[in-house]
Amino acid sequence: MNYRDAKVLTSDIYSVMLECAAGELKAHIKDVNDLNVFPVPDGDTGDNMWRTMHGGVKALKTCKTEGLRDAVNTSSKGMLHAARGNSGVILSQFFKGITDVISSSENADAECLLIALQNGVRHAYAAVLNPTEGTILTVARESVEYAADNVGAGATLHELFTQLLTGMKESLEHTPELLPLLKQAGVIDSGGAGLYFIAHGFVNALTDDIDVLRSRYGYKTESIDSDASSQDRAESVNINLFTADDVMDYGYCTELLVRLQHSKTDIASFDDDAVKSFLASVGDSVVYIRDESLIKLHVHTFSPEKVLDYMHAFGEFLKLKIENMTLEHSGNDSPHSLPVSCEQDDGKAFGTVQKSRKYLGIVAVSAGEGFAETFTSMGVDVLVSGGQSMNPSAQDFIDAFRQLDADNIIVFPNNKNIILSARQAAGLYTGSRVHVIESSSLGQGYVGLAALYPCEDHVEELVDSVNNAIKESCSGSVSVAAKSGLFDGVTVNEGNYIGFIGKTIISSAGSLFDTALALAGHLLKEDKCVLTCFCGKDATDADNERLGSALKEKYPGVEVYFIPGGQDVYSYIFVAD
């Protein structure tokens, strides 16, 4: 059995297409990662795009869906929350645009899908403030245009997506002509390549027999979670934080995802108020929302078993989580083990939250223990682990936001490839007004936090002043080159050190000392009087002492500070003031 002659997309066909697309992309993650233009070992486009697709596949496998509209909406939401990195966010928005059309159409044939794909392109472009041609955006747009020109009336799904794939291949090969950086590095666009493999998976899903597809791409529930990153896994519990002599002071954070069952209750006349009253009688911090037959709830209670018994009378559990809050108050809290959202789409929530609400909260992405300590000391409330090659997802940010009961949240992404994910999370989160700072590096995050003087009346002005401080700042990094080539007029050899500001390479040499000294000299050209040096994991005390002595001798009027950053990838991160 295959779907080669199918002319209308169904939920079953869509599910197979999505699995095959994710499977094909997963098989080529390294190929996509290796297309990274900049010679720093941070190629993670393939990982980011796969984890975004993985979010859609996982959502379909863990949620019972009814029909195509429900399936595309469920998978799209999964991608939006799982999206990480610029390429992942753009990809999730591409599918969001497709979903909007399909979910409002009566018949998802080739004509409808072309309109959906065109809407996906519009959504993808809208996700980027300054769209750049020669990227995944171009590949998406040109391939859809090609398919529209070459697909006739009454086309099969196979014909449509085969033409899309053909157009995608042509567009992808043309990307170096549109983007000089690609031509300079001798590669095609990595995001466009990821999109090509996704389309290739679609075509395979519509070409081969089902048993062949299952053998080639077949997912198993256990393998999905084992393939997920450490950020997606449940964190271990420190059992020593609650001993046989301890007293239960804080109760249990209890969260349920329940599917109401016709066999157990009358869903049409289900009494939400009765459930909310019950939850309020056994706990506090109640949040409750029902979407047709699906209920999400959150409550702090000393009797979670009562909540389970009560809700089990109406349906079956799709997901449940019960956490001992005494452990959290004893030091076992984590930005990745927080309550699942129960807000409604209009921003309202049932129930009440007992904690006093503050005006402003701060969230920052951090990499390395040193940076974590520094950022915390500068007023950051919640840290999100992330950086090069480990971009946090939109859901990771949402989890962090939920730790804060604040009217406004200011977010420091601290990486150019994380800003879009932070913005997407800000758009999805309804519990606070979220303001994303344009910090594209840890150094800029440090500058922005130093310029942060909380004012409880004018948060917009505060955000503007922080962004202005970042724009006027001067910071750079030292790393090891992942590839050879001529970049910005600087000859780079793989394995050598490179010093760079943004994406501009300033220096390159075989030694860390020479590269770092040259970069520091460039940063100190404009009458800077302070140089803060965040030391990475591979920078030794001897390296720091030698560099510090040379800087003091060469720039006697400059104060030099070395701070343990503990970051990977970057041997040094410099901030000049």
Residue ranges in the chain whose pLDDT is less than 70: 41-42, 219-242, 285-287, 326-356, 387-389, 454-457, 526
Question: Could you tell me if 193 and 95 lie in one domain?
Answer: yes
CA distance 298 to 341: 8
pLDDT tens digits, 341-398: 333 333 333 333 344 688 899 999 998 888 999 999 888 999 998 866 678 999 999 9
Last residue of a domain, one of 421, 446, 471: 471
Which residue, chain included where needed, has tokens 């780079």?
Answer: 492
565: domain CATH number?
A: 3.30.1180
What is the SS3 assignment for 235? coil
pLDDT given at position 42: 62
Domain that holds residue 92: 11-227
Question: Could you tell me if 442 and 396 lie in one domain?
Answer: yes
CA distance 536 to 569: 8
Question: Could you tell me if 88 and 204 lie in one domain?
Answer: yes
pLDDT given at position 314: 95
E strand or H helix at 13: helix 11-27
Sheet holding 382-385, edge to edge: 382-385, 358-366, 406-412, 433-436
Which residue, chain included where needed, has tokens 């309804």?
Answer: 430
Last residue of a domain, one of 447, 471, 495: 471
Q: Is residue 240 part of a domain?
A: no
Q: Give backbone dihedrals phi and psi of 245, rounded to 5 degrees, phi first.
A: -100, -5
pLDDT given at position 457: 65
Question: Could you tell me if 374 and 403 lie in one domain?
Answer: yes
pLDDT given at position 353: 34
Question: Could you tell me if 363 and 396 lie in one domain?
Answer: yes
The chain-wide mean pLDDT, for the chain, equals: 86
> Which neighbouring-strand residues pair with 387?
390
Residues comprising the chain, all counted: 577
pLDDT given at position 290: 77
Q: Provide the number of structural domains found in the chain.
A: 4
Q: Is residue 29 part of a domain?
A: yes
Q: Is residue 572 part of a domain?
A: yes
Question: Could you tell me if 262 and 113 lie in one domain?
Answer: no
Last residue of a domain, one of 193, 227, 261: 227
456: domain CATH number?
A: 3.40.50.510
Is there a contact between 445 and 375 (Cβ–Cβ < 8 Å)?
Answer: yes
315: domain CATH number?
A: 3.30.70
pLDDT given at position 237: 52
Q: Is residue 233 part of a domain?
A: no
Question: Could you tell me if 365 and 512 lie in one domain?
Answer: no
Question: Could you tell me if 399 and 263 lie in one domain?
Answer: no
**pTM of the entire structure?**
0.73
Question: Could you tell me if 95 and 206 lie in one domain?
Answer: yes
Question: Could you tell me if 460 and 481 lie in one domain?
Answer: no
Q: Is residue 480 part of a domain?
A: yes
Question: Could you tell me if 126 and 25 lie in one domain?
Answer: yes
pLDDT given at position 287: 64
pLDDT given at position 192: 96
Question: Could you tell me if 94 and 202 lie in one domain?
Answer: yes
Question: Which of 64, 516, 40 has the alpha carbon at shortest distance from 291?
Answer: 64
222: domain CATH number?
A: 1.25.40.340
